[in-house]
Structure 1
Amino acid sequence: MTQQRLDRDSFVPMYYQLQQALISDMDEGVHRPGDRLPSESELCDSYGVSRTVVRQALRELEISGRIVRRKGQGSFVTPPKTSERLVQTLTGLHEDVTSRGGTMRSDVRRLERVPATPEVAAELAIAPGDPVIVLDRLRFVDEIPWVVVVTYLPYALCPGLLEEDLTHQSLYALLEDKYGIEISWGRRQVEAVPAPAAVGQALDIRRGSPVLLLSSTSYAPDGRPVEYFVASHRGDLSRFEVRLERRRGVPRNPLLTVQSAGT
């Protein structure tokens, strides 16, 4: 391999320079998701550095989630994590993915009218047993199973939704453009949990692997609840960005409360 140049006179540590060089190669498509990186010895020869430097660089890349290291096989580039914004704008996963040039597809596993359970009724401010639409989707980002999401909406708001094809459509865009339902704000809870067997099977991960469990209720401008969902995101592929603001005179609260993006 042709030897690459690192700045040996720089105050920046050699392992960090190598780490950034490899990240640059990943971002430019030299090493694509799923590709195996050159071996430790090949990286040593290519960059003229010690094995200690190479191992530290690879360790940092693994910690940051850019690569996965498999014993006896080598280091492999991971798919980029999808960021969902929790505050900046009230967008859904469909908008977040397509805005970065990715593709979004949903396998609609259930779409029907059902009576609201007490939990769902409480979130949507309706009576238990009132009709709701349940929408169960396995969602794929760039054809990788990414999230299982079950959404509930009051049936009276959009009965025609039962006839829609939601394979490639954004639910939020459909609600706004066709049914005139404006979603103004929301509240969301996020917690890390082990994947149940059914979720693990759907997301192609092992049972017990970490998933990010989101529960969210979205509201119209007048404060009326219009949507409640529970979503299980793959923990190895998803991250959430949160903007925090400090306001003078606001009492401290041990709970972090943010407005949320939808699905």
Structure 2
Amino acid sequence: MNSSKSKYIRISQEIIARIESGELRPGDRVPSENELIQQYGISNTTARKSLLDVELKGWVTRIKGKGTFVLNRSKEMHLTRILGSLDAIKESFEENLIHEGFTPKTILMEKTIIENGISTNVNGRIFSIEGPVLKYHRLRYANDILMKDDTRYISMTACKNIHLVETGQPLVRLYEEKYKLKIENIHRTISTTILYPDAADNYFENELPLPAFILNGVCMTGGGEIIEIEYSLYHGDKYRFAIDVKPQLFPPPSIFRAADEKNGS
């Protein structure tokens, strides 16, 4: 085996190892050709062959003009979504599915204005939005399987005329880019329920009782203004949730010792 061949195989194996370890998750972009060239000091040809080898082995897919993304290889078609990350909330549901190798579809069920406002209980605390509020109800599919029954209630005081706006992009991104609102606080709770086939508000078309996750959430600005309340049902057999929590930064122990000495402790 010549050195150039062994080099591109070694690089492709390193990329696959990062995928297998979970460092690169389904839907994540893998390093581009230019990034591999800079990282390993290799030629364009070697970088291209490295990515092609990973693709031919079924780990990634290339999307023209976007990059190379990790495929979802779960036999049961499980989707993993991250809680506790503002960056994850700003990502597009449809783009994520495309990156993972699925075909997305969205059906708009309802887009109506509620004059009297809305309230919800999240983690034992009541959050309310005064009217008018836009109710935005969508069904989100992957490969024609309903994955998420998604309902949002959006403050029309903060987002004027949002009922007239094309909402193809993630809503949090829309709040920040169009309405110049800085979303800084996200509160969410997850619970479970059983969806029965004969329930009037069940759109999952299940023939047997189906477990589902219920996500209640609110999006708020740094000043405490509630922009959105969410109530969504997730297909319980198709979703996993990961928690992304950044630990608080604490002062070094020496600071506490100095304070104790100063206080005579």
Instruction: Give your verdict on TM over 0.5.
Output: yes
Letter in 1 for 2:92: E
Change (3 A) 1:28 1:237: farther
**Larger strand fraction of residues:** 2
The 5 Å alignment of 1:118-157 reads 119-120=119-120, 122-126=126-130, 130-157=131-158
- 2:234 aligned partner: 233
CA distance in 2, matches of 1:124, 1:91: 24
1:45-91 deviation per Cα after TM superposition (whole angstroms, max 9, x unaligned): xxxxxxxxxxxxxxxxxxxx95xxxxxxxxxx422x22221124443
Cα distance in 1, alignment partners of residues 91 and 204 from structure 2? 17
One-letter amino acid of the structure 1 residue matched with residue 171 of structure 2: L
> Tell me, what secondary structure is at the counterpart of 1:184?
strand
Cα distance in structure 1, aligned partners of 2:137 and 2:243: 26
Residues 133 and 155 in structure 2, CA contact (< 8 A), matched pair in contact too? yes
User: Which consecutive aligned stretches of 4+ in structure 1 deviate over 4 angstroms post-superposition?
Assistant: 27-30, 244-249
Deviations along 1:212-263, one digit per CA (max 9) or x if unpaired, are 01100111121211110100000111111014677799xxxxxxxxxxxxxx
2:128 corresponds to which letter in structure 1? L
Structure 1 distance, partners of 2:161, 2:79, is 31
User: Does the 8 A contact of 2:188 with 2:216 survive in 1?
Assistant: yes
In the alignment, the residues of structure 1 paired with residue 174 and residue 208 of structure 2 have an alpha-carbon distance, to the nearest angstrom, of 34
The one-character-per-residue Cα deviations of 1:70-118 (angstroms, maximum 9, x if unpaired) are xxxxxxx422x22221124443385366246045432111112112356
Task: Name the SS for the 1:179 alignment partner.
Answer: coil
2:95 is matched with which residue? 98
Cα gap change, 1:143 to 1:185, in 2 (>3 Å): farther
Compared CA separation, residues 244 and 179, structure 1 to 2 (3 A): closer
Change (3 A) 1:245 1:144: same
Code of the aligned partner of 2:113: R
TM-score by length of 2: 0.55
The aligned length equals 174
Cα distance in 2 for residues equivalent to 1:28 and 1:204: 35
Please give the secondary structure, in 2, of the residue aligned with 1:173: helix
Q: Does 1:203 align with 2:200?
A: no
Partner Cα distance (2:118, 2:93) in 1: 32
Percent identity reads 17
| Structure 1 counterpart of 2:76, one-letter code | T
Contact 1:148/1:199, CA 8 A, preserved across alignment:
no
The amino acid that maps onto 1:92 is I
3-state SS, counterpart of residue 157 of structure 1: coil
TM-score by length of structure 1 reads 0.56
Name the counterpart of 2:166: 165
SS state at 1:91 partner: helix
Structure 2 gap segments, 5+ residues each: 1-19, 21-55, 60-72, 251-265
* Correspondences of 1:108-127 after superposition (within 5 Å): 108-116=108-116, 119-120=119-120, 122-126=126-130
Aligned partners of 1:153 and 1:124: how far apart in 2? 11
Do 1:109 and 1:137's aligned partners in 2 also have CA atoms closer than 8 Å? yes
How is 1:1-263 mapped onto 2 (pairs within 5 angstroms)?
28-29=57-58, 66=74, 77-79=75-77, 81-92=78-89, 94-95=91-92, 98-99=95-96, 101-102=99-100, 104-116=104-116, 119-120=119-120, 122-126=126-130, 130-166=131-167, 168-196=168-196, 197-200=199-202, 202-206=203-207, 208-243=209-244
